Structure 1
């Protein structure tokens, strides 16, 4: 109680600066526009909800990865599901993809006491499900006070964040006693317990991202001017500095292989124009996805939520955030479609997954110097591409099952039997 008092006192002291920051962010950065008042707890008073299940995802990646969970739970629970997110792009994707499975898509409240309590009054959660260890003291404190169980699913503590958490474990220990944690690996389990979680409330369920929804994506290569002989290389979720490496590598490859096309998908929308200028300055012919034109050399995927679709039509996939020290992104989606995968040396956010793929020769780790020769070899060798892609899909199938473990654990703690749902 004393710690939460001082935490909120600190929030009160810095709140003018935080509110100014959020105001500037909402004005200057398009993806954060909208939802600021709702994040602060100002909701329309015309309708309230009862006994909701709140499922929180931070952004687009988490929203897309939790689709199998929401699909399953929407079939099982005869209750209102409120899906919350932090970013405007995540909110847009959730509204586009999941409105038929949830009651409402909402912005998650900022961790001010008045915001959290206003959210609880509006949506009356029966339980709160949080993806990937998104921990907010006031949310957990008031949930505990109101007897609302909190479940953290697909939890992970990255190599980068763990040292920071350890420095403040004297603080986090007081809030980690309430939630139930379903962690991806035993290493994650040990880390969250060391930070203060109760050992008996922590289990290892694996990575829920392996439990993909086996959807058939209908996409016509010919709609983009691609022939059967064209080879498509997609670079997904790219970041500053690695985009230039990718584009220069492609230009060099195109000198030897005239049939190679590049689709590059920047991670953040504010980089669309920057990447367009990079391609233009290197003298390459390009189109934007929104133009719906044929790909001559390069396409810039300047849309949100279509990356999985384009992974399905590519021949080789590079997963970004890994040539620069970001920590990498999800390599499971291209693996679902049996694609050979490349990623850089910085995969600490997906350490266990990337190590599993490398150990089983189901992916290639590259750097600025090796990406060209490895790509060259893959382009020349169709049998190698098929072999690596097949191994990648086998890993996905052999590691599935996390979704069932997660649902079983939650239902057990809520004292709800599957037959009665």
Structure 2
């Protein structure tokens, strides 16, 4: 492993510890990582057969979940260790039913990697999409332990594909097989002479299709919607919420209902959003004390139910792409066959461009464009239904990644 890489990793580790007292999220990660080896030693013995799943954060967990579920069914006598690097994954999924133990991944030093893998000794390791840690992967390779990468997506400007990336790209060769989302990623791997690669697509399509098999009913949403046309705005940020509040305040009517699920649910920001609305608004946390049918806006100040709420949408808005935060999950509403509005900063999200090209998704950059397309979708039911059906078709066309991965694993 590169000497400079290890110097850098140790520097980052020290830096995180210094910053932790002043940043809640970093503090969670630092304190969580300090407990990892104790948790492992208390939960795993040398006689245990194990699998190891690693995800950077919550999005990668959701991406890998359909594969994880199938492996959980097949390897009933194995203990499964699920690791996260980010607190936004660990803190939400630390009780995941697909794992026997959920931990923070230690910082990628040679010592940590050896200790972690000596304890876990996984029969199979699965990394999702990225978060490729060289010391962990090279240790797996040295011990001849099987590892695969699923739903991988690469870009030519990454260090693996640069002249100076020889040492760091060695980590990729620790994977016995890599399943990519697209042909471009396969071509990049081939360019560095990595050949054990299959274009399987994105497991997220299989993941969202599984949502249709679940019970998505929420009685309080049923009561609020009251069989009216319903616009669901998911994972919103202030710039998108400004478009929404302007539209809602200009169209006060019980004939159209709005559900807003902000990305940030801190009380002060939720209250700030509510105060800007000039119509009857109910919070999820206060729903028991209100007549939901009389409200026009329902603000979701909790997490974990947005995917179900999308099943009630006639139209969806997905946040993130109007600012610099990155577009949030558009596949979750798309699977329910609803048209989707997003912001204009979506270049790094090929699924968004694909749905725009098909005519099921609409990109806006200002209040005027937002209002125009939203009014058209509200007023023209044929246009609304046809647009939404194109999104559902797109999801169906791209399913099947999980089957290819399980076939490789002979499950």
Q: TM-score surpassing 0.5?
A: yes
**1:53-132 paired onto structure 2 within 5 Å:** 53-78=51-76, 79-96=78-95, 98-99=96-97, 101-132=98-129
CA distance in 2, matches of 1:31, 1:215: 34
* Count, aligned residues: 398
Secondary structure of the corresponding residue to residue 42 of structure 2: coil
Matched residue, 1:177: 173
Judged with a 3 Å threshold, the aligned counterparts in structure 2 of structure 1 residues 275 and 223 are, in CA distance, closer, same or farther, namely closer
How many angstroms does 1:121 deviate by? 3.1
Question: Do structure 1's residue 25 and structure 2's residue 20 form an aligned pair?
Answer: no
Matched residue, 1:9: 7
Judged with a 3 Å threshold, the aligned counterparts in structure 2 of structure 1 residues 19 and 387 are, in CA distance, closer, same or farther, namely same
Contact kept? 1:327, 1:348, Cα under 8 Å:
no
How many angstroms does 1:370 deviate by? 0.9
Contact kept? 1:319, 1:329, Cα under 8 Å:
yes
Judged with a 3 Å threshold, the aligned counterparts in structure 2 of structure 1 residues 268 and 400 are, in CA distance, closer, same or farther, namely same
CA distance in 2, matches of 1:226, 1:70: 35
1:185-215 CA-partner distances (Å, limit 9, x unpaired): 1122233445x4x431222111111113142
Matched residue, 2:343: 344
Matched residue, 1:402: 401
Matched residue, 2:144: 147
CA distance in 2, matches of 1:381, 1:83: 47
Matched residue, 1:188: 185
Secondary structure of the corresponding residue to residue 348 of structure 1: coil
Matched residue, 1:51: 49
> TM-score by structure 1 length?
0.84
Judged with a 3 Å threshold, the aligned counterparts in structure 2 of structure 1 residues 29 and 300 are, in CA distance, closer, same or farther, namely farther
1:338-379 CA-partner distances (Å, limit 9, x unpaired): 11112222223321x123212222222222231111111111
Contact kept? 2:231, 2:316, Cα under 8 Å:
yes
Question: Do structure 1's residue 274 and structure 2's residue 274 form an aligned pair?
Answer: no
Contact kept? 1:332, 1:396, Cα under 8 Å:
yes
How many angstroms does 1:153 deviate by? 0.5
CA distance in 1, matches of 2:391, 2:219: 23
Secondary structure of the corresponding residue to residue 248 of structure 1: helix
How many angstroms does 1:385 deviate by? 2.0
CA distance in 2, matches of 1:141, 1:234: 45
1:301-340 CA-partner distances (Å, limit 9, x unpaired): 2222211011111211111211223332222111211111
Contact kept? 1:231, 1:259, Cα under 8 Å:
yes
Matched residue, 1:35: 32
Matched residue, 1:414: none
Gaps of 5+ in 1: 412-416
Matched residue, 2:320: 321
Equivalent residue for 1:243, pick from 241, 250, 253: 241
CA distance in 2, matches of 1:226, 1:307: 15
Question: Do structure 1's residue 209 and structure 2's residue 204 form an aligned pair?
Answer: yes
Matched residue, 1:311: 310
Contact kept? 1:242, 1:323, Cα under 8 Å:
yes
CA distance in 2, matches of 1:209, 1:224: 27
CA distance in 2, matches of 1:284, 1:398: 41
Contact kept? 1:329, 1:347, Cα under 8 Å:
no
Secondary structure of the corresponding residue to residue 45 of structure 1: helix
How many angstroms does 1:402 deviate by? 0.9
CA distance in 2, matches of 1:285, 1:87: 37
> TM-score by structure 2 length?
0.86
After superposing the two structures, state which structure 1 stretch, 391-400 or 215-224, moved more.
215-224
Matched residue, 1:334: 333
Judged with a 3 Å threshold, the aligned counterparts in structure 2 of structure 1 residues 110 and 404 are, in CA distance, closer, same or farther, namely same
CA distance in 1, matches of 2:53, 2:104: 11
How many angstroms does 1:37 deviate by? 1.4
Matched residue, 2:365: 367
Contact kept? 1:318, 1:343, Cα under 8 Å:
yes
How many angstroms does 1:390 deviate by? 1.9
Contact kept? 2:283, 2:300, Cα under 8 Å:
yes
